[in-house]
Amino acid sequence: MNITHEERVEFLNAHNDVKNIVQTLHECSDLWMSDVGKLEKIECLLHRVMKFVPQMDDEGRPKYYADYVLEELDNDK
């Protein structure tokens, strides 16, 4: 897997967002609603770049509630 410079910058920004969110949680025991949006964007970044996909049930429907798997492992099933 090759990660581009632009993707590395995205991960750096995501890392800093997570760091700031965790710091706010520790300091305030609170979470800003804008942080929830940032966490969702980070989740999408991980799905897109790292190719994390939901597991499929026996009928081929995605199980979004279950742990995600690597795309190449899911294709082997």
pLDDT, tens digit, for every residue of 19-57? 999 999 999 999 999 999 999 999 999 999 999 999 999
The pLDDT score that the predictor gives to residue 73 is 79
Q: Cβ–Cβ contacts within 10 Å for residue 45, how many?
A: 15
Q: What is the pTM of this model?
A: 0.82
Q: Which two tokens stand for residue 40?
A: 């969702």
Domain boundaries along the sequence of the chain? 5-75
74: confidence class by pLDDT, cuts 50, 70, 90: low
The pLDDT score that the predictor gives to residue 1 is 81
Task: Report phi then psi at 65, rounded to 5.
Answer: -80, -20
